[in-house]
Structure 1
Amino acid sequence: MPALSLQRVEERAPALVSLYKSAAESLEKHGLDDETAAVHLVVDHPGSDPHSHQFDFLRRLDEPAVPAYRRVDNAGYFAAGGEPRRMTDAQLYDRLPGEFPNRLRSARVAGIVR
């Protein structure tokens, strides 16, 4: 069951219903519709230097306070191109899960998550 129901979106933010449905379709397509996860979305602006502080920020998000406890990697990132607004909502939601399904299976095998 999603953390936020379609009914609640329809009541509180009707303009977001189509986005909610697109995201739900993508999660189902990737086999993630019954999962719960914390998601961190970092958006970089077009034309930024790939070696700049944004990647340092991403690296720090990926490093635990105690490295020995790091057992699961991040689920990856993707480049939206020089004009990310040209990407449709469906394309965005389809690419966001990235490697997450495989990482989740690995974490289950390692006994990190159920």
Structure 2
Amino acid sequence: MSAISLSKVRETAPALVDLYKAAGVSLDKHGLRGQRAAVYLVVDHSGSMRPYYRDGSVQALADRVLGLSAQLDDDGSVPVVFFSTGVDAVTEIALTGHHGRIERIVAGLGHMGKTNYHVAMDAVIDHHLDRGGADPAFVVFQTDGGPTSRLAAEKYVCKAARLPLFWQFIGFGDPGSKQFDFLRRLDELAVPGKRVVDNAGFFHAGSDPGAVSDAELYDRLLGEFPSWLAAARAGGIVP
């Protein structure tokens, strides 16, 4: 059973109905129907991201994450962390008023800096623990390049492996760019040598993320989540 009903989505966010349905199909495919999870969105606000804000790619991703969240979480909103050199904002997007929400947030953020993954990860960890962390967290972490500090990013992923959080990284940009080599390596970090469970996944959405179909996007986002849930339960990380 979905966390939020179809009728409620139709009432509060009719433009997201198709996304909600597509997310449900993917959850069924991955054996996740009825699973509950707190859904987070982390968005790269570094200088190179300007084109993706301008062409609506970030807003489109936010809408898709909202559609997924309505299947997994019953509060109708998604905490969002915007990061660059530091944390630029911790806010939320909601079913009500989602249209143009990213543009409105970004208008007040100011300078677009570098790309420090670890500051955003720290903000998500704090937020989830402050909420009590009863449900596992599914974190969609968007970026268009590698982190300024690779050591800090890897350290945070490894430390966070003991917490009920799964990090699903999604890359925007040239699939052939070496900027994403770090994320590919991060996805393969040794278990248990480096971390107690495999708590991160990565896929590349290309230079035109909006061209990725809803069905493919959800399937790629959710691809590694079931195996993490099983390992986290077996390790006592998730009830």
Q: TM-score, normalization: structure 1? A: 0.75
CA apart distance, 1:94: 0.9
User: Are positions 1:12 and 2:25 aligned together?
Assistant: no
The amino acid that maps onto 2:148 is H
Q: What's the counterpart of residue 76 of structure 1? A: 201
Q: What's the counterpart of residue 24 of structure 2? A: 24
CA distance in 1, matches of 2:152, 2:207: 20
Q: What's the counterpart of residue 43 of structure 1? A: 142
Q: What's the counterpart of residue 87 of structure 1? A: 212
CA apart distance, 1:54: 8.6
Q: 94-103 vs 34-43, which deviates more? A: 34-43
CA RMSD of aligned residues (A): 2.8
The amino acid that maps onto 1:64 is K
CA distance in 1, matches of 2:154, 2:234: 25
User: Are positions 1:62 and 2:157 aligned together?
Assistant: yes
Q: 72-81 vs 7-16, which deviates more? A: 72-81
CA distance in 2, matches of 1:87, 1:54: 29
CA distance in 2, matches of 1:107, 1:23: 23
What is the CA deviation profile of residues 5-64 of structure 1, one whole-angstrom value per residue up to 9, with x for unaligned ones?
Answer: 21210110111000000001001100111211222212223xx4x3x4396785465243
CA distance in 2, matches of 1:54, 1:18: 38
3-state secondary structure, aligned to 1:40: strand
The amino acid that maps onto 1:113 is V
Q: What's the counterpart of residue 95 of structure 2? A: none
Query: Among 106, 109, 112, which residue is 2:231 paired with?
Result: 106
Matched residue count: 109
Of the two structures, which has the highest relative contact order with CA contacts closer than 8 Å and spacing of 6 or more? 1
The amino acid that maps onto 1:40 is V
CA distance in 2, matches of 1:2, 1:56: 39
Residue pair 1:75, 1:98 contacting (<8 A) in 2 also:
no
Identify unmatched segments of 5+ residues in structure 2.
38-136, 164-194
Structure 2 CA distance for partners of 1:85 and 1:108, relative to 1, 3 Å: same
Query: Among 138, 142, 148, which residue is 1:53 paired with?
Result: 148
Identify unmatched segments of 5+ residues in structure 1.
none
Structure 2 CA distance for partners of 1:109 and 1:88, relative to 1, 3 Å: same
CA apart distance, 1:3: 2.3
